C-alpha cells in the first residue's frame, strides 16, 4: 500500500513539473487549468496524509515558474510568491476562519479584486524612472524583459507624483479578449499556430526577443501587489493601490473592501456572474487581508503568503477525448461538423458536444476521431474545440477528418459551390433535414409568424407524415393537432386561427419566409416594395434586381437562380392554391414631410406597443433608428424617457408625445 502511494506521489510530481515547463517556458500547455489544478490537489492531499514522503523539491512546496536562459536574470528585491487556491465557498470559509483565529477574532478588512488570467511581472523604478521589468521566474529570480515591459502603453515610464529612490511593485500583464481574437486571426493568416487562451498570448508576447513585436500585441498591465519602497510606508493594501493610481498606474474597477464572510461570498457571486461581461479574462478572485501589519503577523509558507488566497472560478477550458465527428444539415443545406466528446465537467456543466465550425477549421486543427482535445466554454456560448492536445493512438498528426461526399440525410451529392467559401452544402431542395429547418424558419416570428407552430409541433407532424411540402401547413385540420402532445381543443383552435391569419401576411414576409439565399428580412422588404407582387419577381432578370440601390450582384444572382428554379415555381403555385397572399400592400400615403423621416423611440409607450409604433412609422414611409443624432427628425418620448430625450433636447430634435404621434399618423391629419 505504501509503495503504491509513493509511486503515485512521484508520478504526480514528475507530471506536474512537466506541465509547469510546458505552461511557463513553452507557452504551449497540454492540459487545461482545471486539469492541472486537479493534479496539484491530488498531490497536496497525498502529501498531507503521508508526511513520510514530504519533500522540499515537490512542486507543491515551490513557486511555479521558469527562468529561461534566453534572457538575463534579475533577482527580485523580495520573493514573488504564488497563491494557495480554494475552489469553493466552503474552502474559502475554512481559510477565512483560520485567519480570524490567527488574528484573535478582531475585526478584519479584506481587499478583494479579480484574478487576471495573465502573466505576473515585477516593475522597478529608480528615482521615479522605470528601470527594470522582470518575469516572476522561480519566485527568487526572474527574466529581464525591461525593453518589452516598456512597450506596454499603460505602464508609466515616469511616476506622476513623489519619486522614491527605489520602488518595486508587481502586477499582471494581460491582453483584452477582442485583441486576443484579432491576434489569433493575424497568426492564422500567416499559417501559424494560434494561442489557446489570452494568458498564453500575453506570455508569448511578453517574452519576445524583438520588443517591436511586443509593442504590436496590445498588452496591458494591472498593478496588484507591493514589493518594496524606500522612504514611504503604507498601512493597508488599499492605501498602496491608491498610491499606485496616483502614480499613473491602472487599477481594476472591480475592487472591494469586505468586512465579513457574508460580504465576501456575496462579491464572489457577483463576479462569477459578471466575469463574461469584462473586456479581459479573469479566472477567480484574490482575497487579501487589507492590513499590511497583519501580513507580518500571519507570515508565509515556503511558496505562499498566509494572508491571501485565490478563489478559482469553474474552469472555462478542459481536456477530453473526441469520440466522434458528426455532420448536420442546415436549413440552407450547409453541412456543419460537430464533435461528440467524452463527457467532461466544464464551467459548472457537463459537456458532451462541441462545435467544430467548418471543415477548414478541422483541416487547420488536423483533428480526427480519437484525439485528445482542449475545449472551451465562455458563458452560455456553445463549447468549441480549441486545439488538439494529443493525437489518437492510430492517427497520424497529418491525418484529419475529411468532409463527407454525400448528404447524411438524403444521400445526395455534397458540393463546395465556390472555392472562396468554406461551406460545403447539400443542393437537394427536398432534403428532409433542410425541410425541417425550413419549416421552423417559415413559421418564425419575423417570417409568416405562425404563433404556436414551433419545433415540437413540427417534429410530431413530420413524424406522422402530415407535412410533405410547405403548402401542407395550410391543409392541416383539427384532427391533425388534437392528438399531439399537450394539445387540447383551445390550443388547437388557436393554432388553426394563427395558420389562417398567416395567409394574409404581406409579400415581404413571405419572401423572407422562403429562405432565399443571402436575402434577409430587410432585403425582402425592399424587394417586395419594388416589385409589388410575386408574378413580377418570376418575370424579373438580373438587371431588374440590380436597379434596386440596396441589391448588389450577389443578391441579384441569388434571386434570379431562385425564381428560375422549377421546384420553386411548383412551391409558389401550391401556396397560391391555399390562398397565401402574394402581394405587397401599398404603404399608407402620408404628407411628403413624413417620407424618409428618421424617428427614435424612448421611454414607455402606453397607447401603443413599441413594435406596433415601429411598424406604423415604416408603413408611412419613415425610418426608425436606435440612437439620436443631428439627422434625427422626431423623437417619440414615452413615460420615463431618459438619456435619448436629454440628447434630443441638446440637438434641438423635434420631440413629440403619444398624442401628437397619433395626430401625425391620422389619415385626416396633413400637418406632419
pLDDT in tens, 387-400: 888 888 665 556 77
CB atoms within 10 A of CB 222: 19
pLDDT digits 0-9 by tens, 73-92: 899 988 898 899 898 899 99
Q: Above 80 in pLDDT, residue 27?
A: no
Question: pTM of the full predicted structure?
Answer: 0.55
- The domains of the chain are located at 2-58, 73-312, 317-415, 432-502, 507-578, 598-665
Look at residue 85 and give its three-state secondary structure.
Answer: strand
pLDDT score for 420: 67
Q: Please give the CATH architecture assigned to the domain spanning 598-665.
A: 3-Layer(aba) Sandwich (3.40)
Query: Class of the 73-312 domain?
Result: alpha beta
The second-level CATH assignment, the architecture, of 2-58 is Orthogonal Bundle (1.10)
Is 115 annotated in the active site?
yes
For residues 454 and 443, what is the distance between their CA atoms, to the nearest angstrom? Answer: 8
Contact 92, 134 (CB under 8 A): no
* Residue among 115, 288, 509, 644 flagged as catalytic: 115
CATH value of 432-502 in 1.10.150.20, 3.40.109.10, 1.10.730.10, 1.10.3470.10: 1.10.150.20
Distance of CA 449 to CAs 35, 441, 443, 461, 502, Å? 47, 9, 5, 18, 7
Q: What confidence tier does 430 reach under pLDDT thresholds 50, 70, 90?
A: low
Residue 669 pLDDT: 45
pLDDT tier for residue 155 given thresholds of 50, 70 and 90: very high
CA-CA distances (angstroms) from residue 214 to 120, 177, 270, 489? 16, 17, 34, 68
H or E element at residue 120:
strand 119-126
Kindly state the DSSP code that residue 406 receives in the 8-state scheme.
B
Segment 622-643 shows an average pLDDT of 84
- How long a stretch of residues is the chain? 672
**DSSP H or E run through 297:** helix 292-298
Q: Strand 308-312 and strand 85-86: pairing?
A: parallel
Crossing angle (nearest 10°) for helices 198-206 and 177-189: 70
What pLDDT does 666 receive?
66
Distance CA 21, CA 31 (A): 12
Three-state secondary-structure class, residue 334: strand
Assign domain 317-415 to a CATH class.
mainly beta
With CA atoms as reference, report the closest residue to 578 among 508, 443, 439, 474: 474
Q: What is the DSSP letter of 59?
A: G
Backbone angles phi, psi at 371, to 5 degrees: -75, 150
Count of alpha carbons within 13 angstroms of residue 319, beta-carbon side: 20
| Residue 317 main-chain phi, psi, to 5 deg | -125, 145
Fold agreement (2-58, 432-502): no
The per-residue pLDDT for 307 is 96
Q: CA dist 548 to 119, 384, 520, 554, 586, Å?
A: 54, 40, 15, 13, 18
Choose the CATH number for 507-578 among 1.10.150.20, 2.70.98.10, 3.30.2310.20, 3.20.20.300.
Answer: 1.10.150.20
- Spatial CB neighbours of 101, under 8 Å, sequence gap ≥ 6: none
Amino acid at each position: 500500500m505504501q509503495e503504491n502511494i509513493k509511486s503515485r506521489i512521484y508520478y504526480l510530481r514528475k507530471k506536474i513539473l512537466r506541465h509547469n515547463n510546458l505552461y511557463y517556458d513553452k507557452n504551449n500547455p497540454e492540459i487545461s487549468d482545471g486539469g492541472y489544478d486537479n493534479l496539484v490537489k491530488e498531490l497536496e492531499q497525498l502529501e498531507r496524509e503521508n508526511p513520510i514522503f514530504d519533500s522540499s523539491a515537490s512542486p507543491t512546496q515551490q513557486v511555479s515558474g521558469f527562468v529561461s536562459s534566453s534572457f538575463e536574470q534579475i533577482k527580485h528585491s523580495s520573493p514573488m510568491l504564488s497563491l494557495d487556491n480554494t475552489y469553493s465557498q466552503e474552502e474559502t470559509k475554512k481559510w477565512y476562519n483560520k485567519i480570524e483565529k490567527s488574528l484573535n477574532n478582531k475585526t478584519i478588512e479584506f481587499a478583494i479584486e479579480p484574478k487576471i488570467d495573465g502573466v505576473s511581472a515585477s516593475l522597478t523604478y529608480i528615482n521615479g524612472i522605470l528601470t527594470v521589468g522582470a518575469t516572476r521566474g522561480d519566485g527568487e529570480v526572474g527574466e529581464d524583459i525591461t525593453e518589452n515591459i516598456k512597450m506596454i502603453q499603460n505602464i508609466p515610464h515616469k511616476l506622476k507624483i513623489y519619486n522614491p529612490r527605489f520602488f518595486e511593485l508587481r502586477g499582471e500583464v494581460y491582453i483584452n479578449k477582442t485583441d486576443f481574437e484579432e491576434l489569433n486571426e493575424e497568426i492564422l493568416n500567416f499559417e501559424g499556430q494560434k494561442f489557446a487562451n489570452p494568458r498564453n498570448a500575453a506570455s508569448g508576447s511578453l517574452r519576445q526577443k524583438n520588443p517591436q513585436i511586443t509593442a504590436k500585441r496590445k498588452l496591458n498591465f494591472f498593478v496588484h501587489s507591493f514589493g518594496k519602497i524606500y522612504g514611504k510606508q503604507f498601512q493597508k493594501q488599499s492605501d498602496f493601490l491608491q498610491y499606485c493610481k496616483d502614480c499613473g498606474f491602472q487599477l481594476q474597477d472591480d475592487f472591494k473592501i469586505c468586512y465579513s464572510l457574508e460580504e465576501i461570498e456575496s462579491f464572489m457571486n457577483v463576479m462569477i456572474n459578471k466575469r463574461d461581461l469584462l473586456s479581459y479574462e479573469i479566472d477567480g478572485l484574490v482575497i487579501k487581508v487589507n492590513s499590511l501589519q497583519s501580513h507580518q503577523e500571519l507570515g508565509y509558507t515556503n511558496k505562499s503568503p498566509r494572508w491571501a488566497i485565490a478563489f478559482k472560478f469553474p474552469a472555462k477550458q478542459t481536456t477530453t477525448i473526441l469520440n466522434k465527428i458528426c455532420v448536420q444539415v442546415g436549413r440552407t443545406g450547409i453541412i456543419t461538423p460537430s464533435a461528440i466528446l467524452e463527457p467532461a465537467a466544464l464551467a459548472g456543466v457537463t459537456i458532451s458536444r462541441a462545435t467544430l465550425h467548418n471543415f477548414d477549421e478541422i483541416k487547420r486543427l488536423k483533428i480526427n476521431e480519437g484525439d485528445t482535445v482542449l475545449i472551451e466554454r465562455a458563458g452560455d456560448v456553445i463549447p468549441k474545440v480549441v486545439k488538439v492536445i494529443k493525437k489518437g493512438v492510430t492517427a497520424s498528426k497529418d491525418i484529419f477528418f475529411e468532409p463527407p461526399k454525400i448528404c447524411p440525410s438524403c444521400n445526395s451529392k455534397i458540393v463546395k459551390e465556390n472555392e472562396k467559401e468554406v461551406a460545403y452544402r447539400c443542393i437537394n431542395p427536398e432534403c428532409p433535414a433542410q425541410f425541417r429547418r425550413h419549416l421552423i424558419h417559415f413559421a418564425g416570428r419575423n417570417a409568416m409568424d405562425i404563433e404556436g407552430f414551433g419545433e415540437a409541433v413540427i417534429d410530431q407532424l413530420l413524424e406522422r407524415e402530415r407535412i410533405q411540402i410547405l403548402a401542407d401547413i395550410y391543409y392541416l385540420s383539427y384532427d391533425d393537432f388534437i392528438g399531439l402532445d399537450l394539445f387540447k381543443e383551445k390550443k388547437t383552435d388557436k393554432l388553426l386561427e394563427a395558420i389562417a391569419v398567416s395567409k394574409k401576411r404581406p409579400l415581404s414576409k413571405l419572401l423572407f419566409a422562403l429562405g432565399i439565399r443571402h436575402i434577409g428580412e430587410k432585403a425582402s422588404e425592399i424587394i417586395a416594395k419594388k416589385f409589388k407582387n410575386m408574378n413580377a419577381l418570376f418575370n424579373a432578370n438580373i438587371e431588374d434586381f440590380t436597379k434596386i440601390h440596396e441589391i448588389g450582384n450577389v443578391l441579384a444572382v441569388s434571386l434570379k437562380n431562385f425564381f428560375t428554379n422549377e421546384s420553386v415555381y411548383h412551391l409558389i403555385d401550391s401556396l397560391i392554391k391555399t390562398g397565401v397572399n402574394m402581394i405587397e400592400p401599398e404603404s399608407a400615403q402620408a404628407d411628403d414631410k413624413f417620407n424618409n423621416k428618421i424617428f427614435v423611440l424612448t421611454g414607455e409607450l402606453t397607447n401603443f406597443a413599441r413594435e406596433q409604433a415601429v411598424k406604423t412609422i415604416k408603413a408611412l414611409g419613415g425610418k426608425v433608428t436606435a440612437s439620436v443624432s443631428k439627422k434625427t427628425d422626431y423623437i417619440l418620448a414615452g413615460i420615463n424617457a431618459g438619456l435619448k430625450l436629454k440628447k434630443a433636447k441638446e440637438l434641438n430634435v423635434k420631440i413629440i408625445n403619444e398624442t401628437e404621434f397619433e395626430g401625425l399618423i391620422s389619415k385626416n391629419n396633413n400637418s406632419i
